[in-house]
Amino acid sequence: MRKVLLFFVASAFVLQSCASDDSGNQPTEGGVLLQSTVQTTGSDSYTTNYTYNGNKIASSVIENGDTTLYSYTGNQITSIEVQNANGVTSYEFEFTYSGGHMVEAKRTQTGLGIVMLQTFAYPNATTITGQTFIGDENSQDQLLYDQVYTIGSNGEISTLANTASGSTTTYSYTYDDKNNPFKNVVGWSDLLLLQGVDHNILTTSSSTNGNVTGSESATYTYNTDDYPATSIRTSSGSDPISTTYSYQ
């Protein structure tokens, strides 16, 4: 099943809220908003359409696929619901904030009773520490891994280190200096899909205990407003993923 959000997967869905605040550092009304994307890999093609209430994202819908619904409290996204093509809820996400920072993120796999919990702390301006637990609806007390996020000078996550059972996998990221398609979405900076908040990811590399385990790269063309018009993402062992972006 293709999902807009891949949560609690280190290389796909993490958060950055070190600079977020419910009253400040939010996009103003107006500005460029992503309307749709078309992703193609091999013989498969997927169109995703986005809707908004002002600058707050309301939904993303993959044609003949998942629908993702977003709910806000003030200027912060506090819950997300993912429904499959039949309208059945498959995942629910809940986010808790304190002092302008996200401190807890919980994912429930509906129907299976599997719950994953991430907790976060902010020891300084360039570091976020976290822990990920798994359990059921009553308790999430089995530790999966400890995490350390490092924020680079551009405000984006530059490295993410996951440690479990004495083994550490580190992901490193580089970015362009152009505009991210979701840059003007209120609350999006609290929910960083590792494709950037203000900018777009160019390369991802991973290593486990110092040994290189994978890499991925992306190339872009840009429109006259410096937002991506097209991109091609490549990684070893997989077909390239081509994306075309349309804006409103």
Partners of 146 in the β-ladder: 131, 163
29 assigned to some structural domain: no
56 assigned to some structural domain: yes
Output phi, psi for 50, to 5 deg: -120, 140
CA distance 208 to 168: 6
Confidence (pLDDT) at 33: 97
The answer to whether residues 107 and 91 touch, using CB atoms and an 8 Å cutoff, is: yes
Query: Number of folded domains in the chain?
Result: 1
Confidence (pLDDT) at 191: 73
Give the residue, 59 or 20, on which the prediction is more confident: 59
Summarize pLDDT for 60-79 with one digit per residue, the tens: 999 999 999 999 999 999 99
How confident is the prediction for the chain on average, in pLDDT? 87
Confidence (pLDDT) at 9: 35
49 assigned to some structural domain: yes
42 assigned to some structural domain: yes
Mean pLDDT of 188-207: 82
Is the predicted pLDDT of residue 1 greater than 90, yes or no? Answer: no
Is the predicted pLDDT of residue 22 greater than 80, yes or no? Answer: no
Reported confidence tier of residue 4, pLDDT bands at 50, 70, 90: very low
243 assigned to some structural domain: no
Provide the residue type at 61 as one letter.
Answer: V
Reported confidence tier of residue 197, pLDDT bands at 50, 70, 90: confident
Q: Kindly report the CA angle at 171 between 108 and 113, in degrees rounded to 5?
A: 10
Buried b (16+ CB within 10 A) or exposed e, 60-81: bbbeebbbbbbeeeebbbbebb
26-40, 150-164, 226-240: the lowest-pLDDT one: 26-40
Confidence (pLDDT) at 30: 76
79 assigned to some structural domain: yes
Distance of CA 155 to the CA centre of its chain: 15
DSSP letter at 28?
Answer: P
Summarize pLDDT for 68-112 with one digit per residue, the tens: 999 999 999 999 999 999 999 999 999 999 988 889 999 999 989
25 assigned to some structural domain: no
9 assigned to some structural domain: no
Tokens of 242: 């081509």
Q: Which domain holds residue 121?
A: 34-159+184-199
